[in-house]
Chains A and B, each alone.
Chain A
Amino acid sequence: MAEIKKVGVIGAGVMGAGIAAHITNAGVPVVLLDIVPEGAENRNAIAEDAVKKLLKADPAAFMHERHAKLITTGNIEDHLDRVADCDWIIEAVIEKLDAKHAIYGKIDAVRKPGSIVSSNTSTIPLAVLCEGMPAGFARDFLITHFFNPPRYMRLLELVAGEKTRADALQAVRRFADVALGKGVVDCKDTPGFIANRIGIYWLQCGVLEAMEAGLTVEEADLVCGRPMGIPKTGVFGLLDLVGLDLMPHVLGSLAGALPETDAFHAVRREPELIGKMIADGYTGRKGKGGFYRLDTSSGKRVKEAIDLETGAYHPAQKPRLDSVEAATDGGLRALMEHPDKGGRYAWRVMARTLSYAAHLAPEIADDIVAVDEAMRLGFNWKSGPFQLIDQLGPAWFAEKLKTDGLPVPDLLETVGAGTFYRTDEGRPQHLAFDGGYTDVRRATGVLLLSDVKLRSEPVARNASASLWDIGDGVVCLEFHTKMNALDLGTLAMVGKAVRIVADGYQALVIYNEGSNFSAGANLGLMLFAANLAAWPMIEDMLVQGQDAYKALKYAPFPVVGAPAGMALGGGCEILLHCDAVQAHAEFYVGLVETGVGVVPAWGGCKEMLVRWSASPLRPRGFMPPVIKVFETVGTATVARSAPEARDLLYLGADDGITMNRDRLLADAKARALDLVDGYTPPEPPEISLPGPAARVALTMVLYGLRKLGKATPHDEVVAKVLAGVLSGDGTDVTESLTEDDLLALERRAFMELVRHPATIARIEHMLDTGKPLRN
């Protein structure tokens, strides 16, 4: 199987450019070509501008700015030969068949034998795309359907034709999975594939039913959001995000391709209001606004929502519906059973959407797992349609459909009184279309803690954290508090892990499957204790954290941190104490303590000083490491990806990066096992710091920040205390400080700051609003 070492992307629109950027995130070079604009001076303008836009994209398209250099830009008239040495060429041009066919001809003329060509089409079937193309092309051709934005949306729909080479398919699948980190879902060659076929139907139901039942957009989104495990953008907010103007194309294209019997036709119509909005430039977030808009005319940012009847905007309301509240405890079924308008709406939309999915599944997918995976990864639903039906109870759902005179899909008859998913002897299984149950397949190299949990009991557990035996002598420490905030329970479990692993296991991996590794120390607890003036209680939390992390660092076995998502404050500090880190590429890490008016005091200052002192990246002398850490910690710098984390030394040179979230645990476990042979705990460092002399230099740094308007009055207070810790307080370079000396300095600084009313105000504000207070 040929390895993919270079990729060509034809078409530098939003999707093509985004795909190109994400391929560079895997470290793979890309050729990005687009047409020559009419009468242009710069014939490469489109592709070049696309890269410039990518560099400014928010959220960022590149995991590191330097990745942009991996893209070679050009145009298809002059530079098509540049794809000649590409192993994979992705077509992402306009959704017009003739345009696509024209470009395929040109690609086929230059591409190297054995190279793979794929289309990023969202609606055109592969059979149609291949029409009239040479047999050799069809063998190397498939559809790879990315979702926007390609870096962040995990779904990749893969469609192979009858003639597609198995090894071509396998090469792309492998590359997309391992190198790009995608969740690859095999789709049958049907219009709209899986996610859009169901997702667009759901959106249309959501819009039309809301208009019919007289719900406001705020109410509709409240219902079709969190209570269903769907992002809070719901229906209308999502359309704003996607762009209203895209819808007529998608609807038209699906309508043209789907058979007349398809239920889609009943909901394909475009409401008058939406047509008018598009005509007036209200195309969503990229336009003048959409169903929601921000009114800044008063100098404040007022979120407004449109009235679906009149088209007039009003300040967005925060509706309250009994049905939605009923869902908090009663789940989806309580919502859909509720008699209020929210409940009726939920039923009308979801009954149709879930039925549609159940009806279509055998036609569009190999199994129900593919359908659920597509909706989870492509629309960020927490649960796919069949998981939702399981939540409702398939028998209840079928019965209610009958009562309402709606057709009951065959699959619901098949599942009968059972459920679509079940666990059999610890193995997750799903209902196959033939009515039997089969194991849910996991790709080689995928290890999920959720699977481990199905088949085993924890080695130890408390309210905050658990230990799991993940095989081969490796234990996994899992956090499971809200936001995976760290509290005394977590720290106790760290201590317990050290004892248990030392007593009969080989290594420890710190990993969890929450959306974020850890938001850091439980600020609520800290604030409550501070409000009580329970200072010794707070200091005790510091001591316990320092002790636990130190125990981890000097444990007689290797410890590997395996973070994904955010690792802030104490969540970053625990990683700094690991022997190695295997990070997911989407890794947002930082010592953000100064943002809430304190300093890192679970060894964060200490570890960062040690890292920068030992780093070959910095100039010689005692000052540079101190200044580096001061800048990083003092401004609460957060790395926006694993590669950025490397620059900031939150990740070490030997730490690994995993692109696919599902492969993280297996990679971390392998890393830990690698370290087992001949493992010896690190030598405790001794460090010399410049003492009071450094404070002057740090004050200069602070002065610079203040002049830039970047430092508030309390920033200065915090920075001065931080400077005291980092410079080693009263020490000088002839002395050497132990870890415990530094930890004591951290504690003293923290305790000084936490009593400050401005610090308490910061913590309070962070908890109330989720945003830092700039006081």
Chain B
Amino acid sequence: MATYTAPLADMRFVLNDLLGEEQIGDLPGADEVTPDLADAILEEAAKVCEGLLSPLNRTGDEEGCHFDNGVVRTPQGFKEAYRTFTEGGWTSLACDTEHGGQGLPETINMMVEEMICSANLSFGIYPGLSRGVYLALKAFGSEALKETYLPRLADGTWSGTMCLTESQCGTDLGLLNTRATPGDDGAYKITGTKIFISAGEHDLTENIIHLVLARTPDAPEGSRGISLFLVPKVSVAEDGSLGPANGVSCGSIEHKMGIHASSTCVINLDDATGFLVGDLNKGMRAMFVMMNTARMAVGIQGLGLAEAAYQGAAAYARERLQGRSLGGPKCPDKPADPIIVHPDVRRMLLTMRAYVEGARALGAWVSLHMDVAARHADADRRRQSQDLVELLTPVVKALFTDIGFEAGNLAVQVFGGHGYIREHGIEQYVRDARITQIYEGTNGIQALDLVGRKMPAHTGRYLRSFFHPVAAFIEEHQADGALEEFVLPLAKAFGRLQRATAWIAQKGLADPEEAGAAATDYLRLFGLVALAYMWTRMARLALGHGGGDGGFHEAKLGTARFFMHRLLPQTGALFATIMAGKGSTMDFDEAWF
């Protein structure tokens, strides 16, 4: 059975050393978080995740959620764990102080979220969705709605959901049918059926706040006629007390590949009372605010799973004795050497590790810019950081969840047959990770978002927020002797990314299918270059440390080297793939499939 230990040393390194390099200036509220305070929070979070959530991961997976006549019960132990979790204030970590939150920066929140996802992804989905609802409501809700709902979402008394999907409309929200009819009292009556609603019904909280996309009777067709409504499961009086049930019911829950302990519901809305959030017909705008945060969060889910998988595989590879090292026995006193001596096992472990640590750094860097975008006093700085967040959100979502799945898969491989059986809990990571590549916009959609929206936006302005710091870093350090082995491959991969970007932008302008055909490979290329930038920066910091610290910095350098030598060269193949164009993909007659 895998045990999870929060990677606190690496988190400290990322938070203090790596992010410490950024010249940010004042971030009101965020800069009060001293390294000591951050440390204390992370240590506490580690305890909760290791001691409370991690033990429920496999049992929750085995048991799953129960559905009985509209009532959903979470697996044993979840309700109690949720109570402890909310009492510890973990739902309100990054909520505003004015709503009873702790106002902590996104950088800290992201680390905590990673731990939660490593320990128990299914559990993390419940508070994760509440946070999405909290943010959307904070950005677009009326004062009255905010006053009533935000504090209770922050303290975890109530939880939230996002009701977008319907049976005929998944990625293409323009097709949605749910109707909202205005009443005399300013409220709306909502009717329709939503599917695949995570945390749509459960027994963790006394009320569930649904954010529902629906159409008013005279709304324009397509995605321009969609509005966002707040629909509570139980109606709420002005003073916040609960009234009678609203017209919201759970029709069934799905039986699915993974995240068994997270309820995935069919939600029936039958004349349910709802309140408009934001402007009429501007629901997509509000949705995207929520979605951007949610996409970042899903990326972090991938990272969390990859970390857990790596830990399990590394521990097993040290223990499992099979065969002898190709270079001669390493443990002659034992019947066999531990499998960690084998190059291919090391390849798998280092691949996981290099991705995980690179992703942690990249995720933290983006989170920092989320904080800058939200809190900085200077409007230009806010905009520049927001540009970076917009640009890298699809990269983080798709790259990290792909990494999560790949790492889970590699971990199963390291375990061999023991990974394939349930006992060790390793195959669960693969199953749990699989959904993260799908929900909140499939990874294919993320790639299209990157090439179709983010790349051309404002003639490439978003790109500048990434390309300029990387180019400047390369220029500054290219003659930096000891760093050369990292900077040179970074520069080479970066050049490929530049050329691929220019090519896609130019081709895509005339023929969007060219951009579409290149999208997924391009996102991966982008992601690898972003990781390489992080790795080069981390290598520089590790070089500066020399050693004598229990090997942390040497290990960092070693992992950096593996990334540069063994993973980054994929950019060459990706570049060639992209430049091959759409022909072989699109000329293939549909009838031949």
Using CB atoms and an 8 Å cutoff, list the residues of chain B in contact with chain A.
220, 458-461, 463-464, 467-468, 470-472, 498-499, 501-502, 505, 510
Contacts and interface: CB of A to CB of B under 8 A. Distances in A.
A528 B459 contact: yes
A94 interface: no
A534 B459 contact: no
A767 B459 contact: yes
Interface string A524-544: 100111111111010000000
B502 A531 contact: no
A533 B459 contact: no
Given A531-B464, A537-B502, A760-B464, 5 more contacts: A528-B459, A528-B463, A533-B468, A533-B498, A764-B461
8 contacts: A463-B510, A524-B459, A527-B460, A528-B460, A528-B505, A531-B468, A532-B463, A764-B459
A766 to B, nearest CB: 10
Nearest to A524: B459
B279 to A, nearest CB: 14
A768 interface: yes
Those 10 A-B pairs whose CB atoms lie nearest each other, nearest first: A533-B471, A531-B460, A531-B464, A528-B460, A533-B467, A527-B459, A531-B463, A534-B498, A532-B467, A532-B498
Contact of A529 (B458, B472, B502): B502
Nearest to A757: B468
A531 B220 contact: no
A605 to B, nearest CB: 26
A77 interface: no
A322 interface: yes
A532 B510 CA distance: 20
Contacts of B220: 322
Main secondary structure of the interface of A (DSSP, over half): helix
A338 B459 CA distance: 33
A531 B510 contact: no
Contacts of B471: 533, 535
Contacts of B501: 532
Contacts of A322: 220
Contacts of B498: 532-534, 537
B458 A534 contact: no
Nearest to A488: B506
Contacts of B458: 764, 768
Interface centre among A527, A531, A760, A768 (most CB of B within 10 A): A531
Contacts, number: 45
Given A322-B220, A463-B510, A537-B502, A531 B461 contact: yes
A533 B460 CA distance: 11
Nearest to A761: B380
Interface in A459-486: 463
A529 B471 CA distance: 13
Contacts of A537: 498, 502
Interface string A753-767: 000000010001001
Contacts of B502: 528-529, 532, 534, 537
Given A764-B458, A764-B459, A533 B505 contact: no
Given A524-B459, A528-B459, A764-B461, A533 B510 contact: no
A767 B457 CA distance: 12
B470 A532 contact: no
Interface in A418-470: 463
B515 to A, nearest CB: 14
Interface in A223-278: none
A533 B470 contact: yes
A531 B470 contact: no
B507 to A, nearest CB: 12
Nearest to B475: A533
B223 to A, nearest CB: 14
A16 B468 CA distance: 59
Interface in A301-336: 322
Contacts of A528: 459-460, 463, 502, 505
A562 to B, nearest CB: 29
B460 to A, nearest CB: 4
Contacts of B463: 528, 531-532
A177 B393 CA distance: 61
B104 to A, nearest CB: 32
Nearest to B222: A322
Contacts of B467: 531-533
A644 B472 CA distance: 44
A530 B502 CA distance: 11
A322 B220 CA distance: 9
A85 to B, nearest CB: 60
A529 B461 CA distance: 10
A764 B387 CA distance: 14
B398 to A, nearest CB: 21
Contacts of A529: 502
Interface in A504-551: 524, 527-535, 537
Contacts of A535: 471
A51 B459 CA distance: 46
Contacts of A532: 460, 463-464, 467, 498, 501-502
A302 B212 CA distance: 37
A96 to B, nearest CB: 54
A109 B220 CA distance: 71
Contacts of B470: 533
Nearest to A527: B459
Contacts of B460: 527-528, 531-532
B426 to A, nearest CB: 41
B392 to A, nearest CB: 15
A767 B498 CA distance: 22
Contacts of B472: 533
Nearest to B474: A533
A534 B460 CA distance: 12
A527 B460 CA distance: 8
Contacts of B499: 534
Contacts of A524: 459
A334 to B, nearest CB: 16
A726 to B, nearest CB: 29
Contacts of A534: 498-499, 502
A243 B62 CA distance: 80
A768 B460 CA distance: 12
Nearest to B471: A533
Nearest to A322: B220
A317 to B, nearest CB: 15
B141 to A, nearest CB: 26
Contacts of B459: 524, 527-528, 531, 764, 767
Nearest to B501: A532
A692 to B, nearest CB: 28
A760 to B, nearest CB: 7
A608 B294 CA distance: 57
Interface centre among B470, B498, B499 (most CB of A within 10 A): B498
Nearest to B497: A532
Contacts of A527: 459-460
A182 to B, nearest CB: 40
B499 to A, nearest CB: 8
Nearest to A760: B464
A325 to B, nearest CB: 10
B138 to A, nearest CB: 29
Contacts of A533: 464, 467-468, 470-472, 498
A460 to B, nearest CB: 19
A527 B502 CA distance: 11
A463 B499 CA distance: 21
A760 B499 CA distance: 20
A531 B387 CA distance: 12
A364 B459 CA distance: 50
Interface string A269-291: 00000000000000000000000
